[in-house]
Amino acid sequence: MADKATEFTFQNEMIQQLLANGWLLGKPENYNRELALYSEDLLGFVKETQDEQWQKFCQLYPHNPEQSFLERVASQLNKADPNAVNKELRTFGTLGVLRHELRDRGTRFSLCQFKPEHDLNPDTLHRYQQNRCRVVPELVYSPWATAAHEAETGNKAQAWRIDLVLFVNGLPIVTLELKSEFKQAVQNAIKQYKTTRFAIDPVTKKPEPLLTFKRGALVHFAVSQYEVYMATRLEGANTFFLPLVVV
* 166 three-class SS: strand
Query: What pLDDT band is residue 229 in, cutting at 50, 70 and 90?
Result: very high
CA–CA separation, 176 and 162 (whole Å): 7
Residues 105-143 have pLDDT tens digits of 999 999 999 999 888 888 899 899 999 999 999 999 999
Q: Is the pLDDT of residue 86 over 70?
A: no
3-state helix, strand, coil in the chain (%, to 5): 40, 20, 40
Beta bridge partners of 59: none
| Residue type, position 213, single letter | F
Residues 204-214 have pLDDT tens digits of 999 999 999 99
Q: Which residue would you say has higher pLDDT here, 116 or 222?
A: 222
| Residue type, position 150, single letter | E
How many residues comprise the chain?
Answer: 247
The answer to whether 160 and 201 have CB atoms below 8 angstroms apart is no
* Residue 110 CB neighbours (<10 A): 18
Domain definitions of the chain by residue range: 2-35+132-244, 39-129
User: DSSP secondary-structure letter at 63?
Assistant: S
User: DSSP secondary-structure letter at 182?
Assistant: T
Q: Does domain 2-35+132-244 have CATH number 3.90.1570?
A: yes
For residue 221, the model assigns a pLDDT of 98
Distance, first Cα to last Cα, the chain: 30
Mean pLDDT for all residues in the chain:
92
For residue 244, the model assigns a pLDDT of 87
Q: How far is CA 114 from CA 66, 74, 84, 92, 128, in A?
A: 24, 21, 23, 18, 6
